Chain A
Amino acid sequence: MKTISLIDKGDYQLNSSLKVTIDNPLKFYLGRNYIITGENGIGKSTFITKLLLPSVIENSKNNFLIFYASQDFTIQYYVIKYYYNGLLFEHNDFSSIEKVIDFVKLKFVHFDKFPNKNIVFIVDEIDQYLSIEKFLYDLKSINYTIFLSTHNKKDLNSNIIFDNLVFEKINRDESKISLNYEPSC
């Protein structure tokens, strides 16, 4: 299996007030799926932007495309809206964030200029905009890997097996990250 990201063990200062400790190297593979869980403010989003995404981008050369939906989708919403409707003169319904995410997801799925059809989805709490089940539904036709950051792991009704990237609070400014592989994988 191809590695899409490797984050070494160690202490990482993600910003001035947040440090994360990784005791064992985090190795992520193409074709597996990961759910990122932990309480609010523990550093999940910062981990994604500061460590995970740069590492995935570095390994992406000709292997896979990356779809990244941040928790705050504002700028991405404007980029999509003004690119497709503004520059390409399409007439898409971008009246809600749900429609925009769904639209761009299908653009990735049906994108014919990339032969491998491998896509790495990194989605940060998009369950505030649309249901995760709906998001995962259209992905059957492609090879994908998903990193799903969410608060409500228990509410997830999906047949997909997820490895769990767990964030635990050590103290106010420090968190610990560990990756629990699903034994059935």
Chain B
Amino acid sequence: MNPVVKMLGGFILTFITVIVLNYVIRNNLLILSILLICVVFLFYIIHGATVFWKLAKFWLKFALLLIGVFIVFGYLLCGEIETNCLKESFLSGSKTALILLNTVYILELFILSITINDILSINLPIRYLKILILLRTLMNQVQSKFDNEKILFNIIPEFQIVHKSKLRSIKPLFLKNIIYIMTLTFFIKEQGDILGPMIDNRIIHTHKTKTNGK
């Protein structure tokens, strides 16, 4: 398939789906559930079990947390435990969680379908192309290096004690998630600072070699 058609078509399709998801069918629990089943099935077929479970483990926690928050706020706003009110909160939370999961999987389907070769084959000016190359390279690095977070955290003894303990206290778990987000953020920033000039240097070198060759 032509890479321009693939990327543009993929982008438009993703954009429309996300808009429909968030504005048209957002209140229909049944359609949201069916859509999630279809998207998840498609993702599983295309990217395999490993990538699927990695993503699922990460986002399911957020989805469950979201439902929990809705129930807590529902309880607080109702003033007392009313079955209908709690049920309503649970349904609202479930819909929001389904919208979140659908959006994540649809966006991932689009992003993961774009390869470096697709980006290179579109005739964008080099100043824009290098940004796309940098973003895709960073994404590849993050995917490969953050492959197994449990193994990575074997480098800090406090986290291992928490991991071994039956009674897991909240503070170390909170710290663990904070450090995970910080590492991810600063890794992308610092690697971007290193990779950016490297890509610039290669462009300059290629340009000079081409000019001298002529």
Contact = CB atoms under 8 A, between A and B. Distances in A.
Interface of A: 49, 53, 57, 60-62, 65-70, 72, 74-76, 78-80, 82-83, 86-87, 104, 107-108, 111, 113-114
Given A60-B164, A62-B164, A79 B158 contact: no
A80 B156 CA distance: 7
Given A86-B182, A87-B175, A87-B179, A79 B152 contact: yes
B158 A113 contact: yes
| Chain B contact patch, size range | 20 to 34
A79 B183 contact: yes
Contacts of B152: 75-76, 79
B179 A68 contact: no
A75 B146 contact: yes
A61 B165 CA distance: 9
Nearest to B153: A79
A112 to B, nearest CB: 10
A61 B163 CA distance: 9
Given A60-B164, A74-B145, A78-B186, A83 B157 contact: no
A76 B155 contact: yes
Contacts of B11: none
B156 A82 contact: no
B168 interface: no
- Most central of B146, B152, B182, B183 by chain A CB within 10 Å: B183
B28 to A, nearest CB: 41
Nearest to A66: B154
B209 interface: no
Given A78-B187, A82-B182, A67 B175 contact: no
Given A79-B183, A104-B156, 6 more contacts: A74-B145, A75-B146, A76-B152, A79-B155, A80-B156, A113-B157
B157 A75 contact: no
A57 B155 contact: no
A109 to B, nearest CB: 10
Contact of B157 (A65, A78, A79, A87): A65
Given A66-B160, A79-B179, A113-B158, A57 B150 contact: yes
Contacts of B178: 87
Nearest to A88: B175
A72 B148 CA distance: 13
B161 interface: yes
